[in-house]
Amino acid sequence: MGSQKINEWNQPSSSAEEFLRNNKLSDYIQNEVFAAIVKKKKELQESEIRIWIAGCSTGQEVYSLAILLKEYIESMDLQQEMNFKIYATDLDHDSIKIAGAGVYPDYSLNNVLPTILDKYFERRQDFFVVKKQIREHIIFAPHNIAKDPGFHHLDFISCRNVLNYFQPTQQQAMISSFHHSLNEDGYLFLGQSETVGEFNELFLTINKRWKLFKKQEVTERNRSLDAGLHAIQDKSAEEIEKQQLTEQLNEANQLINRLQAKLDKLHLDHEAKYESFKVDSYHPILFVKGLLQIIKKQEYYKEEYAGAMLKEMQKLELAIEEFIVEDQ
C-alpha cells in the first residue's frame, strides 16, 4: 500500500479490537505475506484468496486486513481478476453483531489517511461506516475454535492473542487444525504473545517478532505416529486439565465475590477517585464483564474459560490493592 497504509490508531490496546496500528507490521503483511499469496495464486492460475480471522472481536482487524489486501491487489497489474473472501469469527455473538455492522466512532480512525477514509468509510455524524465495497468480501459468524469445525483451503489465518486463553491440549488441537485448514505454503498469524509450541515441524517461522508462520507439509507416516502419541498423551492431560479447570473456576468465583465487595467499599470510601480507577482498570474490568456475560448466556463455556477469568480477576485484584495504597 505504501503511502496508503492504515496509520497508527492512538487508542492503546493489545487485542484485535483495533485497526492495525503498527505501520511496520501492516507493511510486512501487505508487501511480504499478501504479495507472496497473490504471486502463488497467479502461478496456479487461481482467482480467489481465502482468509480466516479467528477471534475477530468487533471487527477492526478484519477491515484493516481487508483494506490492506484490496489495496495491494489494486496496485498490481494483474492479467486475471483476483478476488478474496474473509471468514471472520468470534465466540461472542454480540461482538459479531458489532463487527458486522461496521460502525465505529470517528476518534478510532483519527490517524487513518483521508484517502483511505474517503474510499472505504462513510461518515455519519460522529461515526464512520464501512462501505459495501469492502464489507462484501467478509462473512461474519459466531464460532468456537475449540469445538467447532474450522474452514478449509485457506491462504491466511489470523488468530491474534487468543490461544493463551485455552488449555495446552486445546491449543495443540487448534494449531493442528489450523495446519489442516491452510493451503500449501499458507500463513498463520498469532501475534506477539503466542507461538506454535511443540508443533515446529508443522510451521516455519518467518517472523519471530510478530509470530508469523508458514505451513510446512509433513509426511503421512509422521502424521500417524504423532496422532497416536498425542492421543495417549491427551487422554491423561485432559483429565489433569479438567481438575485444574474446576479448581480455577472455584477460585475465580471466590475472587468475584470478594472483589465485588471491595469495589462496593471503594465506591463508598473513595467516591471522588472512583471514576479514575475505572478508567485505569478499563481492560481487566471490561474483559471480566464480557466473560461473565458469555458464561451467563452459554453455560458450557464456563469450564473452558475458567483460566482466563481467573487471570483477569487476579489483575483486577492487584489494581484494587494498588489503588488503595496510592490513596492512603
CA distance 237 to 27: 40
CA distance 2 to 71: 10
- pLDDT for residue 12: 29
- Between residues 245 and 17, the one the model is more confident about: 245
pLDDT cut 90: percent of the chain above it: 30
Would you say residue 14 has pLDDT above 50? no
Cα separations (Å) of 148 from 90, 141, 174, 226? 11, 12, 10, 22
Nearest to 49 by CA among 153, 159, 158, 203: 153
- Between residues 141 and 265, the one the model is more confident about: 141
Instruction: Read off the pLDDT of each residue in 259-264 and give the average, rounded to a whole number.
Output: 71
Instruction: Read off the pLDDT of each residue in 133-150 and give the average, rounded to a whole number.
Output: 90
CA distance 152 to 163: 19
Would you say residue 289 has pLDDT above 70? no
Nearest to 154 by CA among 290, 236, 5, 49: 49
- Between residues 99 and 192, the one the model is more confident about: 99
pLDDT in tens, 104-116: 988 888 778 888 8
Q: What nine digits make up the cell of 328? A: 492512603
- Between residues 144 and 303, the one the model is more confident about: 144
Reported as type and span, the H/E element at residue 121 is strand 121-124
Longest Cα–Cα distance in the chain: 70
The answer for 106, left when phi > 0, alpha when psi is -120 to 50, beta otherwise, is alpha
Reported as type and span, the H/E element at residue 83 is strand 83-90
Mean model confidence pLDDT for the chain: 76
Domains of the chain in sequence order: 2-218 (3.40.50.150), 222-327 (no CATH)
Q: What nine digits make up the cell of 40? A: 502463488
Helix boundaries (H) for the chain: 23-28, 35-44, 60-75, 93-101, 114-120, 132-135, 168-181, 220-269, 271-280, 282-297, 306-327
Instruction: Read off the pLDDT of each residue in 306-321 and give the average, rounded to a whole number.
Output: 69
pLDDT cut 70: percent of the chain above it: 63
Neighbours of 128 (CB within 10 A): 21
- pLDDT for residue 310: 67
- pLDDT for residue 113: 83
Would you say residue 293 has pLDDT above 50? yes
- pLDDT for residue 291: 55
DSSP 152-204: -SEEEEE-TT-GGGS-HHHHHHHHHHHHHHEEEEEEEE--TT---TT-TTTEE
pLDDT in tens, 218-247: 765 354 444 444 444 444 555 666 666 667
CA distance 58 to 96: 6
Would you say residue 22 has pLDDT above 70? no
pLDDT in tens, 194-225: 666 666 788 999 998 888 999 987 765 354 44
Cα separations (Å) of 227 from 70, 231, 234? 39, 6, 10
Instruction: Read off the pLDDT of each residue in 61-70 and give the average, rounded to a whole number.
Output: 94
- Between residues 191 and 204, the one the model is more confident about: 204
